[in-house]
Chains A and B, each alone.
Chain A
Amino acid sequence: MRGVLGAFRELDATVSAIEALKASRIGEIRVFSPTPRHELEHAIDAGPSPVRRFTLIGGAVGATFGYWIAIWASDYWPLVVGGKAIASWVPYTVFGFEMMVLIGGLSTVVGLLINARVPRLSMMVGYDPRFSHGDYGIWVECPPEKAGAAEGLLREHGAVEVRRER
């Protein structure tokens, strides 16, 4: 993975650099920020997150499992209480709901991990610890012949440090 990393002190400088890099089509960009900022999200314009699908599928599976385990166990060992139904869906809604929340919640986390590509074993290339404290960063993945243009754009828009990495 080759590219150029630029560090910025100001949010608006980062936003203008992102817009310039997207217009110039030098290469794929990755933006670092110490906190989620709507301005950056708007400039990157990455589209909706697919995590919602994991949540929906997990929730549906959980609700189904919750009802199923209660109904199946009641049917497997029938205990007639007061002449009432052996499989009673009203109290079993508790299990359906709880399992929907449990499996839906855990599926959401799995969706986050898969889509955000974490856990990550190596994070040295294209990262600087200052990005978790107060500075913003832009990583431009590009071949060496385009690195000069990327460096120029980053400096032009106010990068306080620009370096090539591989």
Chain B
Amino acid sequence: MATLAKPIPADDEPRRPNIASADVQLPAVKDYEQVDREIIRTLHPTVAWFIGLGVAVFFLITGIAAWMYQIHQGLGVAGYNPPVMWGVYIITFVFWIGIGHAGTLISAILYLFRAGFRTTIYRCSEAMTVFAVMTAALFPILHLGRPWKFFWLIPYPNWRYLWPQFKSPLVWDVFAILTYFTISSTFLYIGLIPDIAVLRDRENISPIRKRIFSILALGWRNTDREWRHFARAYLFLAAFSTPLVLSVHSVVSFDFAMALTPGWHTTIFPPYFVAGAIFSGLGMVFTIIIPLRKWFGLRHYVTLNHLDAAAKLCLFTSLVVGCAYMSEWFIAWYSGNEVEKSFFANRIWGQWWWASAILYWCNMIIPLSLFWQRLRRSPGWLFFLSIFINIGMWFERFVIVVPSLSHEFSPWQWTSYRPTWVDYAILAGSFGWFSMWFLLFIKQLPVIAIAEVKEIIPPRLKRPHQHGIGPTGRHLDYEPDTPGEFA
């Protein structure tokens, strides 16, 4: 019978570079020593890194100065125009929370699905998640008239005998985001412990750094007992993080969906927000990982196959988001609700047409280019596209927040909104804050998970085909039960 399947190549056939197979994902990485050498090499600071850090700190200081000015002058300097009392701060809060989602998707969900392309990009994504949530958490506080009272949202025994309103979505947000930040940070740190032990055990390391790494590694020794419990704990943390990813942005969407405002009061918001969050996070992963793989000389770790696979995921989430946009239009028309129809007409053809156009082009139309494999395997195009996705996703939140509040039920409520320099400075400051943490991270800790990369490198063998191990390290007679082994 004729078959379209390619014949299995002979063992001695030379492998083409950068082509992954079931058992060899990183053909250009030969042994464990190479992994240590090439990843640890990225930790040395360079002039370009110091310049980047200086730029990030400059933007951060600009944002802090603007916030100080706002505290002194009051929230009126932030461009709010009643009834548009949610503006750039809430937009940017949702934007950064969304950015954080791809990190947990890549590190936790793809871990449970044994997706091989996560291995070399998940550390970066996880760090991005933690720093993005740290950034997002600032914005509800910036949005408060009296930011020093933010802790009133946390339930604790107090002299006022007052407790938060547990039926309010804003209190749900506090719980969801604090949980997300804690679990994401824990997940990042637990995964880092074996790699910190590698850094600790280097020969040429200063005594101070050795001391710090010794404390952070918790005396990790790579014993079978440690790995056994580590693998199990990591699996359970991934299992907890997976529904957490879905819940956090659903809870954020409830901030809107629980209100009666046109454009917000819809049941599609939770899945729409989650898909959008993952889409925007993947955009930011490309923005970060593509320059890093070039500057750090890690193109044989984050290969074109990895970028291709991540791009397919990005395309899928773009299609889901596009479907959600079209559902919104359809339901606005099909519902027969005049307020909803009027609002959507204003959003698409009225005063906010330009913001909607940016959103639809960046999130729906340009990502369709990823149907072409040539573009999925082009780092330059992926980086370029990722910038569009970042812009498009910020505007998606703009289009959700501002047009709804500026075009509510009665014409006397209709108004406009224009951000001020304070809004823009704080927005820029948030990018400075995020970039500062990320730049500090990549020069202190490995940006690629050393221990997990070693898992997918064929181990050194004395006699091939012994104990169920093939010549490339592939298991022959039983399946691995250590999650992520062949990822």
Contacts and interface: CB of A to CB of B under 8 A. Distances in A.
Interface in A67-96: 69-70, 73-74, 76-77, 79, 81, 88, 91-92, 94-95
A157 B244 CA distance: 47
A114 B167 CA distance: 38
A52 B232 contact: yes
B163 A94 contact: no
A158 B460 CA distance: 13
B224 A98 contact: no
A61 B449 CA distance: 33
Interface residues of B, number: 72
A38 B482 contact: yes
Given A49-B232, A92-B166, A132 B225 contact: no
Interface string A82-125: 00000010011011011101101110110111011111111100
Interface string B158-172: 000111111100001
A51 to B, nearest CB: 4
Contacts of B167: 74, 81, 88, 91
B198 interface: yes
Contacts of A131: 221-222
Contacts of B179: 98-99, 101-102
B182 interface: yes
B476 to A, nearest CB: 11
A119 B176 CA distance: 29
A39 B469 contact: yes
B198 A133 contact: yes
Contact of A40 (B161, B224, B451, B478): B224
Contact of A158 (B232, B462, B468): B462
B252 to A, nearest CB: 12
A134 B469 contact: no
B201 interface: yes
B425 interface: no
B228 A95 contact: no
Contacts of B482: 36-38, 41
B80 interface: no
B23 interface: no
Given A92-B166, A105-B182, A32 B223 contact: yes
B32 A133 contact: yes
B36 interface: yes
B45 to A, nearest CB: 23
B224 A31 contact: yes
B451 to A, nearest CB: 5
Q: Which of B219, B224, B228, B478 has the most CB of A within 10 A?
A: B224
A118 B233 contact: no
B225 A94 contact: no
B182 A109 contact: no
Contact of B32 (A12, A95, A134): A134
Contact of B460 (A9, A38, A118): A9
Interface of A: 9-13, 15-16, 30-44, 46, 48-49, 51-52, 55, 59, 66, 69-70, 73-74, 76-77, 79, 81, 88, 91-92, 94-95, 97-99, 101-102, 104-106, 108-109, 111-113, 115-123, 127, 129-134, 158
17 contacts: A11-B460, A12-B466, A15-B466, A30-B223, A33-B227, A41-B482, A51-B233, A91-B167, A94-B247, A98-B176, A101-B247, A102-B183, A105-B182, A113-B218, A116-B230, A129-B201, A132-B222
